[in-house]
Structure 1
Amino acid sequence: MRVLVTGAGGFVGRALVDRLLREGMAQPGDVSELVLIDRHMEATQAPDDARVTAVAGDFGSPAVLEPLLAKPVDVVFHLASVPGAQAEAEPAAGDSVNLWGMLALFERLAKQAGQHEGRTVRVVYASSVAVLGEPLPRSVDEHTAPHPTISYGTHKFVGELILADWTRRGMLDARSLRLPGIVARPELSSGHGSAFMSQLFRMAQRGEAYTCPVSSAATAWWMSRRCCVDNLLHAARMPAASLHTGRVWTPPVLHLSVGEVVDALRRRFGAFAIDYAPVEPIEQRFGRQPPLADRRAVEAGFRHDGSIDALVDAALERVHGEAPT
């Protein structure tokens, strides 16, 4: 099986690559070649494994894609994007990667069905809860209508619609997951408005004081990197015949206040100083998230971390070869 991962050098991408090499798609060893694309990937970042082909470049560029896709691929995990806050600050970069690059990739993958009869590509798309927009209703479920209010959310919604339509037409076999902020990202991650969620973990881990840009009562959707990868792999493994036509799921999350997470971190690491200095735009976007219960996602087998203490353990887990943070 030939598998392609875009954004393979990123926070989630590295963990997904590690799991694919260890576990395969259906069983260990069934991935014969793992093709990795990341704009900033260096040779030292690629796993030392004969099955890996790693390329530094733009996933939407024909010069990058055509050689890699000369042979058919079976599964694609599309993770690469310019994150929301950065896309708002740099709209041209956001449009180039999150919209035009995405469409170029999907178009090239769709050609495979015509070029290689019976080789429709399975695409797992990392969409975002940003498609839901703001303000959110009092609760979110599978019937909540998207109304994106930032470019990042709009681009992700376009991706969902294109994939659902091209799946209907038999050009692709797609599955889109509306992911929340994933913890705990490295401290230097940029462009993520939800960065405070990961910073809480990192500062508690080091026992350092932290000034939090949302209140203790702020509520957010929490998912660890390990759980995120679990859900991405589950999406790829689901039989196509059992899937609904929209091909979009919002996986379950832990709905927790910042204060609850701080208490769990103190149980794990001991006391650390925290001040709350709420910044209204950040609190509004990331600190007023309501309960989320997508029945369709639960029935499809997607899962959250299980408990707040399990979240803490999984969020701080390092991938093999990853530098300490």
Structure 2
Amino acid sequence: MHCLIIGAAGMLGDGLAKRLIREGKVGTRKIAKLSLFDIIEPKKLEGGDVEIATGATDIADPAAAVALIEARPDVIFHLAAIVSGEAERDFDKGYSINLDGTRYLFEAVRAAHEKDGYFPRIVFTSSLAVFGSPLPEVISDDFIITPRSSYGTQKAIGELLLADYSRKGFFDGIGIRLPTICIRPGKPNAAASGFFSSILREPLAGQAAVLPVDTSVRHWFASPRAAIGFMVHAAMVDTSLIGERRNMTMPGVSATVSDEIEALRKIAGDEAVALINHQPDPAIEAIISTWPQAFDAKRALDLGFEADSSFEAIIEAYLEDYAPKIGG
């Protein structure tokens, strides 16, 4: 089979590619080719028995999607997006990439389907930002999407398009709403949620970190390892069990910032916690205040999606996968 990852230069895209190469299959189907594309060309990876193709493309260009599916990949992982903070600051860029790019991809697949019966599985990564206040403490699978940010609105529209194009039989789509990914390796990004990672990642490396919100803030989390697992599982889950409700929230860990800090204390000690500096940021607080805190992700759990067991497990997964030695 042939798998295509759009957004493969990002942290999750790179991790997904490495896992697919390592396992060499999706479910019982062997991967023969893996195509990796992003706005910048993804780094070269050793493929073993898997043929690897890489390239740079701009999904905001309608012609890009047509070229991406020319080889008719069996599974398309659509991860490409600009993050929440940047989408809020740059309205035009957010809609160009997060919405128009998604529509161009879906339209290209529809045209190919009508031409020669092409019918791929599309895994679309959505976000908890599709939900907006007022919110219950725990959000059920039946709760309506009411985004209160440009990013959330763009993702919500993408979810609706995915469901409709799947309903019409143009492709077999599944949308997975990822929890906030923590701990993200590398440098901070422009996401409003970036501090959730930085208050752990930097202290684990012996560096100071800024906390822009109150420690009582509660949120829904998953490790990069778990998120990549969600994507792989979404590529092989039986969508006949999903029906026309093609989008679902992934399971995760509900934790407060205080819970994060206490998990850090257990693993790295008081010295690491002392490196966190509380500097309130009203702009970030305003965005975070509209986000959900916890979910009852029964649909996803019943379909076999697996979450991290605790926040300590999230930190331990980070240390194992990205930072084998604290401070090293």
2:311 aligns with 308
- Supply the distance in 2 between the matched residues of 1:20 and 1:40 (Cα, whole angstroms): 21
Establish whether residue 70 from structure 1 lines up as the match of residue 73 from structure 2: no
- Supply the distance in 2 between the matched residues of 1:155 and 1:80 (Cα, whole angstroms): 12
Q: CA deviation at 1:319?
A: 6.4
TM-score by length of 2: 0.90
SS in 2 for 1:303: coil
Give the % identical residues. Answer: 32
**C-alpha spacing 1:316/1:252, structure 2 compared with 1 (3 Å):** same
Alignment of 1:38-187 (within 5 A): 38-41=38-41, 45-49=43-47, 51-117=51-117, 119-187=118-186
2:18 aligns with 18
Report the AA paired with residue 57 of structure 2.
Answer: G
2:280 aligns with one of 263, 278, 281: 278
2:300 aligns with 297
> CA contact under 8 A between 2:198 and 2:210: conserved in structure 1?
no
> CA contact under 8 A between 1:213 and 1:277: conserved in structure 2?
yes
> CA contact under 8 A between 1:37 and 1:59: conserved in structure 2?
no
> CA contact under 8 A between 1:204 and 1:266: conserved in structure 2?
no
**C-alpha spacing 1:309/1:3, structure 2 compared with 1 (3 Å):** same
Report the AA paired with residue 127 of structure 2.
Answer: S
**C-alpha spacing 1:308/1:188, structure 2 compared with 1 (3 Å):** closer
Mind listing any 5+ residue stretches in structure 2 that lack a counterpart?
Answer: none
Report the AA paired with residue 26 of structure 1.
Answer: G
- Supply the distance in 2 between the matched residues of 1:164 and 1:126 (Cα, whole angstroms): 13
**C-alpha spacing 1:80/1:189, structure 2 compared with 1 (3 Å):** farther
Deviations 1:211-250 (A, max 9, x none): 3111222211111000001111111111122112111110
> CA contact under 8 A between 2:183 and 2:314: conserved in structure 1?
no
Deviations 1:52-98 (A, max 9, x none): 11011213435434344222111100000011110111111111101
Deviates more, 1:71-80 or 1:132-141: 132-141
- Supply the distance in 2 between the matched residues of 1:230 and 1:57 (Cα, whole angstroms): 26
Q: CA deviation at 1:35?
A: 0.9
The CA RMSD over aligned residues, in Å, is 2.2
TM-score by length of 1: 0.91
- Supply the distance in 1 between the matched residues of 2:46 and 2:260 (Cα, whole angstroms): 36
Deviates more, 1:182-191 or 1:221-230: 182-191
Q: Which runs of 4+ in 1 moved over 6 A?
A: none
Deviates more, 1:271-280 or 1:166-175: 271-280
SS in 1 for 2:26: coil
Deviates more, 1:98-107 or 1:131-140: 131-140
- Supply the distance in 2 between the matched residues of 1:291 and 1:190 (Cα, whole angstroms): 24
